[in-house]
Amino acid sequence: MAAVESLSNPRARLRLDWGYLAYRLRRSPLTVVGLLMIVGVLLAVFIVPLFLSINPDKIDLAARLAAPSWQHWFGTDEVGRDIFTRVLYGGRISIGVGFFVVFVSAGSGVIIGALAGVIGRWVDTVVMRIMDVIMSVPSLVLTLALAAALGPSLWNAMLAIALVRIPAYVRLVRGQTLTLRESGYVKAARVFGANPWQLMRWHIAANALPPIIVQATLDVGNAILMASALSFIGLGAQPPTAEWGAMVATGRNYILDQWWYSGFPGAAILFTAVAFNFLGDGLRDLIDPKQKVR
Amino acid sequence: MAFLNIVRRRLGFLVLVVFGVSVVTFVISHMIPGDPARLIAGPHASNAVVANIRHQLGLDLPLWQQYLHYANDLLHGNLGVSIRTGRPVAQDIATFLPATLELVVVALLFAVLAGVPLGVASAVWRDRPIDHVSRALAVTGISAPAFWLGLILIAVFYGQLGWFPGGGRISSILVPPPRITGFYLVDSLLEGNWADFVSSARHIALPAITLGFVNIGIIARQIRSAMLDQLQEDYVRTARASGLSRARVILGHALPNALIPSVTVLGLTFGDLLYGAVLTETIFAWPGMGDYVVASIQALDFPAVMGFTIVVSFAYVLVNLAVDLAYLALDPRITEVG
Amino acid sequence: MTVMGRTAEVADEALLDIRELSIEFPVYGGAVRALDGVSLEVRRGEIVGVVGESGCGKSVTSLLALGLLPRDGFRVRAGAIGLLGTDVLTASERELGELRGSRAAMIFQEPLTALNPTRRVGAQMIEVIRRHQPLGKAAARDLAVRALGEMRIADAAEVMRCYPFELSGGMRQRVLIALAFSGDPAILIADEPTTALDVTVQRQVLTLLRERARRSHTAVMLITHDMGVVSQYTDRVYVMYAGRVVEAGSTRDVLSAPAHPYTRALLNGLPEGAPPKAPLRAIPGSVPDLRAPPAGCAFAPRCEHAAARCGERPPMFTRTGAAGHTAACWLEHMEGKSV
């Protein structure tokens, strides 16, 4: 089994040339910008509130719908809650949703896709037919329908978004698996008796990982957008949860005079989604052979 | 000849997909928590009444039989009855569809007219400032929550500047044009009613921009990628070596060739726009299907939501089919090889 | 920067004059020295071969000659390129555009992809013709048909209605050559025009090319890696290795009395010269990494005659034997002859 053991150890292959990485990054400033933006958001949303003593639910009827000021950087809402604080705390929910959704959909999708590709035969056919059927409905509409069917709650919204995204990963990984299955070293490993699990570990780690990482990064942004959209319609987070989409929805009634109510939470969504898209696009360019610089 | 074969094959595929869609919607509608029979009967009705209703609705039949009834209904255009409006869902959708289609078409035009030049510039001046700016713009478009963007546009262009109206399809003091196509812009022109046309145009501007903005990025990205592919091709080098100017090579040769595969992205964009319409219509009080479905969701009107899903999926598949056929027609290589 | 009129060209005026050209391409970690002190010229009416293995810089030379490499992609360390009197390295796009496709033409290796696949052949030819000559569509079409006829293409009108993929490789290359000649060029650069074609088709195409070029006294710069092609179709030849010219002279001289060890090794390695059943003589070692070119002679690491001096400084050109026959080799130099 020694041959299989060494084949299934991906660490032997992943060597990172930091100098080359820095060179590529310098030519793609947006990627770095995206990364910094994400770090900024994560810090602001998860770390900063630990140090400031602020309460997102603190009601202050005397300062209702106040414009942005030094006391309330983003203004206040209709019961006087500080919107800046709510945006920070809401960020935990929105970003948490993003990561959770991607974790679930990418995780399951990758496993299903890899197994389907490696086991092959009728398992592969059945799985792909199911995925095709799911993908035949425009994903956004399907998410809407699913979320509506399951009932309005943040949990159901996350589930709906995650489920609908799974086929994309299944296809991605299965495609990679099929190509790699025919390659020399995988065939050799099979001859030595490697079972599907070992084969799966090998190609996922070494070869299928980069496109998955790119897709996952982009999906985090999309999941955040989708979750906030569902909340806006009323299918996701329910008020008084300080989720960004729900805040924009409530702020809608005050948009003409108190623009900050919808303005800032929405801007937070935009900022975060932009960050993940920059990073995801940049990663995609890094691994795209067409972009390999001379 | 080869073309017809392809058409036949794709139509067959279409049928399969529609079948798949119907299965998916059927499955989803059975995931709805709660007992529909009880919902209709009310919480105080006796079990006998509920059982009766259940029998009438066919809910006591085995699942596969229920599906057959469901499929049969679909084939006859029966999408059920809306709990909220009391009308057949199919009729509701027919009423509200044109408004959404009009919005989607104008938004698509806007996205294409803005996105294509952006994509071309990005590809030609790759990695220069204009590329970065245009890519940043494109990414912002994709990342912007449509519902938020619409609200901001209303706040600025209606609230502050008063340039555009804040909602609706046409000014409330005007009479809408007679319904020939259902598109206000077209119908008012056909009627010769200039006031109606101008008002409709002013009303569609903001929603279309909001809706289309998101897709500028997608289209620009696609064009950029396709252009980069074309610019690396040998024929570009031949054309330049023959003395053709850069502009001519880029716009006259590379761009038309890049547009051919990009046509498929139009199909995807259409799906995005249909969904985006759901959010945009709500904000602009645009009486289309998006507005209808949101109201239905909030009223827990599941037949309406399922009906919407089926119709939109079907439309999406049709559009993609049309797009694929257009691609086949445009690329001389494929038509020949078949 | 003047462009000389055709009538003013004197018999041995160089149409293409590359002098001591050194070019490098910036890459991660430094730069690739693609050309190092390359000097070559093409005179009116002659067919000049440029031969060497892949990566020796011959294609780069041809692309540079017409200014087809984007200026921000490379650095000029030294030297100049004169094309029909124009300084290519500093000329404007407009000036180059006037030359390309009319008085200076070029054809490439892959006829398969050299034409726009979604346009008919005729339309593409007419477009190029009309770019350089004030002709109406009908007149341009006639010219195209005539040009195709000169390349022995039978149903010219029919061919013009075809899409590129409907033609065979040899046919396509003949179309491209016809297109190149339609502008009545003074010089035609052909970058491995037949490498991608069948051997039998190769002869056909090259013979046609030579005939056509002779007829209009068009000079041809023929780039190839095939010594056989060189011997049959060229008047003079330059042998390149690792971005440098190592030997130059008339084809007859160079092939019958090769002075540079590399040229000799190339000729020795030909199947035609080998005794039957003997293994083919390959050159040991591999081409140097042009990111760090060797200080001395580029070929020294692989040369069986290498002396200490060969590793220290790049050799100068020395005249060997016949007039015009030079080689850059210390061994030749040490034998007491110099240019």
Mean pLDDT of chain C: 84
Among all residues of chain C, which has the CA nearest to that of B331? C118
pLDDT of residue C191: 92
**pTM summary value:** 0.78
Instruction: Give the H/E segment covering residue C220.
Output: strand C219-224
Mutate to test the interface with C, among B236, B242, B244 (most CBs of C within 10 A): B242
pLDDT at C110 > cutoff 50: yes
Nearest to B143 among A30, A235, A277 (CB): A277
More confident residue, A28 or C43: C43
- Rounded to an integer, the average pLDDT of B176-202 is 84
Model confidence at A2: pLDDT above 70: no
In this complex, the residue of B237, B246, B331 whose CB is nearest that of residue C93 is: B246
Nearest to C68 among B241, B244, B336 (CB): B241
Among A55-64, C30-39, C225-234, the minimum mean pLDDT is found in: A55-64
CA angle B10, B14, B16 (to 5 degrees): 115
pLDDT at residue A200 above 70? no
Chains touching chain C, criterion 3+ CB pairs below 8 Å:
A, B
Q: Is A121 on the interface with C (CB under 8 A)?
A: no
Q: What is the mean pLDDT of residues C21-26?
A: 90
Higher pLDDT among residues B317 and C272, named by residue: B317
Give how far C27 is from chain A: nearest CA, Å.
6
pLDDT averaged over every residue in chain B: 83
Spell out which residues of chain C touch residue B257, defining contact as CB-CB under 8 Å.
116-118
The whole-number pLDDT of residue A147 equals 84
Length of chain C: 339
Q: Rounded to whole angstroms, how far apart are CA atoms A207 and A173? A: 10
Averaged pLDDT, B228-233: 90
- Closest-CA distance of chain B to residue A16, Å: 24
Contact C117 B333 (CB under 8 A): yes
Sign of CA dihedral C99, C101, C107, C111: positive
For residues A211 and A180, which has the higher predicted lDDT (pLDDT)? Answer: A211
C308: pLDDT strictly greater than 80: no
Answer whether A140's CB lies under 8 Å from B269's CB.
no
Q: Which tens digits make up the pLDDT trace of B71-95?
A: 887 777 777 778 778 888 888 888 8
For residue C257, the Cα-to-chain-centroid distance in whole angstroms is: 22
Q: B300-330 pLDDT, tens per residue?
A: 777 888 888 888 888 887 888 788 778 777 7
- Cβ of A294 within 8 Å of Cβ of C27? The answer is yes
A218 part of contact set with chain B, CB < 8 Å: no
Mean pLDDT of C102-119: 89
Q: Give the best-scoring range by mean pLDDT among A135-144, A243-252, B266-275.
A: A243-252
The yes-or-no verdict on residue A19 having pLDDT over 80 is no
Q: Specify the pLDDT at position B109.
A: 92
- For chain B, the 3-state helix, strand and coil shares in percent, each to the nearest 5, are 75, 0, 20
Between residues 243 and 262 of chain A, which touch chain B (CB distance below 8 Å)?
A: 245, 248-249, 251-252, 255-257, 259, 262
**Does A19 contact C at CB distance below 8 Å?**
yes
Could you read off the pLDDT of C130-165 as tens digits, one per residue? 999 898 999 999 999 999 998 888 888 899 999 998
Q: C185-199 b/e with 16+ CB inside 10 Å = b?
A: bbbbbbbbbbebbee
- pLDDT for position C305: 75
Burial class (CB in 10 A: 0-12, 13-18, 19+), C205: buried
Which structure tokens are listed for B209? 């921009």
ipTM entry: 0.81
The pair of three-digit structure tokens given for residue C116, joined into one six-digit string: 């726009």
Is the confidence at residue C103, as pLDDT, over 70?
Answer: yes
CA B243 to chain CA mean position, Å:
43
Looking at residue C188, what is its pLDDT?
A: 94
pLDDT in the model for residue C220: 94
Q: Is B146's pLDDT higher than 90?
A: no
- CB atoms under 10 Å from CB of A250, counted, come to 16
A20 touches C: beta carbon within 8 Å: yes
Q: Kindly state the percentage of chain C with pLDDT values over 90.
A: 31
**What residue in C sits closest to A26 (Cα-Cα)?**
C28
Task: State how far residue B4 is from chain C, nearest Cα, in angstroms.
Answer: 21
Q: Is a pLDDT exceeding 80 seen at residue A183? A: no
What's the confidence (pLDDT) of residue B254?
93
> Are C153 and C174 in contact, with CB atoms under 8 Å apart?
yes
What is the number of residues in chain B? Answer: 338
Share of chain B above pLDDT 90, in %: 16
Output the pLDDT for position B249.
92
pLDDT of residue C5: 41
Q: Do C27 and A20 touch (CB under 8 A)?
A: no
Concatenating the DSSP letter of every residue in C51-64 gives E--TTSSHHHHHHH
Q: Which residues of C touch A26 (CB under 8 A)?
A: none
Between residues C264 and B300, the one the model is more confident about:
C264
- Band the pLDDT of B39: cuts 50, 70, 90: low
Instruction: Give pLDDT, residue C29.
Output: 76
- Check: CB of residue C27 under 8 Å from CB of residue A294: yes
Contact (CB, 8 A) for C190 and C158: no
pLDDT at B113: 93
* pLDDT above 90: residue A220: yes
Residue C314's Cβ-count burial label (10 Å; 0-12, 13-18, 19+) is: middle
- Average confidence (pLDDT) over A164-168: 90
Is residue A294 over pLDDT 70?
no
User: What contacts A98, CB < 8 A, 6 or more positions away?
Assistant: A220, A221, A223, A224, A227, A272, A276
- Residue C273 pLDDT more than 80? no
* Token pair belonging to C165: 């993929």
Q: What is the pLDDT of residue A6?
A: 42
Q: In chain B, what residues touch A255 (CB-CB under 8 Å)?
A: 151, 154-155, 159
| Closest approach of B130 to chain C, Cα-based (Å) | 17
- C169 inside 8 A of chain B by CB: no
8 Å CB contact between C184 and C215: no
For residues C87 and B52, give the distance between their C-alpha atoms in angstroms, rounded to a whole number: 95
**How far does B193 lie from chain A, in Å, by closest CA?**
32
